Structures are given as structure tokens and as C-alpha cells.
Amino acid sequence: MHTVQARGILSAEKCMNVYRGCTHGCIYCDSRSVCYGMDHPFEDVAVKENAPELLDRALHGKKRRCMIHTGAMCDPYLPLEAQCRLTRRCNEIIARRGFGLSIQTKSDGILEDLDLLQRIARQSKCVAQMTLTTCDEKLCKILEPGVCGTRRRARALKQMTQAGIETVAWISPILPFLNDTEENLRGLLEFCFDAGVKGILCWNMGVTLREGSREYFYQALYRHFPGLKREYARQYGLAYECVSPQSPRLMEIFHGECEKRGVMHHVDEIFRYLHEFPAAGEQLSFF
């Protein structure tokens, strides 16, 4: 890791990343793509030392409170968070200034901040999001080698829901010929339903690849599953969207099961929900 002084921290869409780069090592990671213009090795994480000060200043000047989003590009609970505490310090500011938080991770390190997430949830709104891709822990260790396995993530989701925090699961990506089975999908859905999630995000049963992420993915895929080389080359080549031939059937199961359980499952609806900040009368205890 290396430290940097950032010039700004909040995008126009109220998104922030206190770290740039990631050490979780997911083989399908889109954030590695060349289009993001990262000027250092992806695993040599840039730690934005002044992120809390920048955030405090940015929120201080805001007339209207809103949701702050983090975790879409780089995981906020990398192992180095234990020492840097930047995510925690930013969450403290969000809580103190009465804003809402939508936070996305693959790590159960998020539980370290349970007290803060609860405080934000009590005051306004906090949505914790966790990605699940496979029920097979061995496969999980290959696909996402640097972060805790699916069962631990599912337990963290459940713990957060039980603590009064709203949760959304991401079932994404689904890799053709690897985790694109009905058994896997039903297993992941059971984890989500058991955890009491409010919504599940799933665009389709596939993965997107572009320059930078594609090379990394194929190298890892062929190292671990040499038998898939021909199939991937034949079906997808340099395609951006690699959708499983099983996608239509699996998506029908996905929507049907979520509908039955009363869990949000339409992408637009979930994104609307993630961006909605409760009106003044609906906020519980900040004022």
C-alpha cells in the first residue's frame, strides 16, 4: 500500500472510495479494467489519507442530506482497514452529520462497524450490500482468494439484518460453465432469504470483461480450469458480455423465487431504493 492526498472524495453521484486498488484478488474484477486509468499496480492500494477531512468538509457544506455510496469500485473493508480505519472514520462522519449510507463489500470485516451502521440506520437509513457468487467454498477460494468465503458473508448479512440494518445481496457475476447451475443459484438464494435481505441484485447470469480485466480473468481461468479454454474462446472470444447459455432459465428461477419470498429483485427498483433518502418525518432519532 501507499498513501496519497486526494483532491476530492465525493463524486457528483455522492459515491466515494477511500481506497484505490484492492487485495481481495477476485479473478473477474472489473475495477482492474484499463478504462479506470489506475496509475499503480492494482494490489498496491492507494490509501487516501485525507479522505475523512475531505468528506467532512464536503458534507458540512450540503444543505440537503442524502445517501452516500461506497464500495462500488474498491472494497472498503480490505485487510488494511484494520490499521488505516479510513472507512470507519468516514462512517463516523456520515453518522455525525446525519447522512445515509449505502455500503458494499465482500468482507465480513464490515461487522467491525456494526455499531456505526446501526446508528446511521436509527437516524436515517443504512443499507449494507454483500456479494455472493458461489456456494462451493473451494470454488470461492479460487474465484475470490483474498476474502472470506460465502458462508461467512451470508452470516454477516444475517447478523446485520438482525441488528436492524437493511441488506441487499448481489448475485454477480455468474461465470459460464463454473457457477451457472441451478443448484448454485438455489443455494445462494437460500442464503439470502435466510439472512432476511430486502433485495437481490442480479442483471443476468454472466460476467463482463474488458481490456485489463479480460487478460487477468483468462489467465486465472486457464490456470485453474484449463479444460474451459476452448469453450470460452469459442463462445466469447473478446466479447464484453459473456452470458451463460443457462441464463434465461436461471433468471426465470431467480425472479420467480424472489417474487414468492417478497424480496425486491428488479434492478431499477433496487437502485431507486438505494438512492432514496427518507423524508424528514421518516427519520427516527437524529433531530
Binding residues for ligand SF4 (CB under 6 A): 22, 24-26, 29, 31, 74-75, 106
Alpha carbon separation from 275 to 29, 32, 90 (Å, rounded) = 24, 26, 18
One-character DSSP codes across 94-111: HHHTT-EEEEEES-GGGG
CB-wise, 22 or 189, nearer to ligand SF4? 22
The CB-of-264 to ligand SF4 minimum distance in angstroms stands at 22
Beta bridge partners of 101: 68, 126
The CB-of-10 to ligand SF4 minimum distance in angstroms stands at 19
CB-wise, 31 or 87, nearer to ligand SF4? 31
CB-wise, 152 or 186, nearer to ligand SF4? 152
Beta bridge partners of 131: 170
One-character DSSP codes across 208-277: E--TTHHHHHHHHHHHH-GGGHHHHHHHTTT-SEEE-TTHHHHHHHHHHHHHHHT-B--HHHHHHHHH--
Task: Say whether 207 sits in a helix, a strand or coil.
Answer: strand
The CB-of-205 to ligand SF4 minimum distance in angstroms stands at 17
The CB-of-173 to ligand SF4 minimum distance in angstroms stands at 9
CB-wise, 22 or 195, nearer to ligand SF4? 22
The CB-of-166 to ligand SF4 minimum distance in angstroms stands at 21
The CB-of-153 to ligand SF4 minimum distance in angstroms stands at 11
Alpha carbon separation from 37 to 123, 148, 212, 232 (Å, rounded) = 37, 28, 10, 27
Beta bridge partners of 206: 243
Q: Is residue 232 within 8 Å of 207, Cβ to Cβ?
A: no
CB-wise, 31 or 129, nearer to ligand SF4? 31
Q: Is residue 120 within 8 Å of 101, Cβ to Cβ?
A: yes
CB-wise, 35 or 284, nearer to ligand SF4? 35
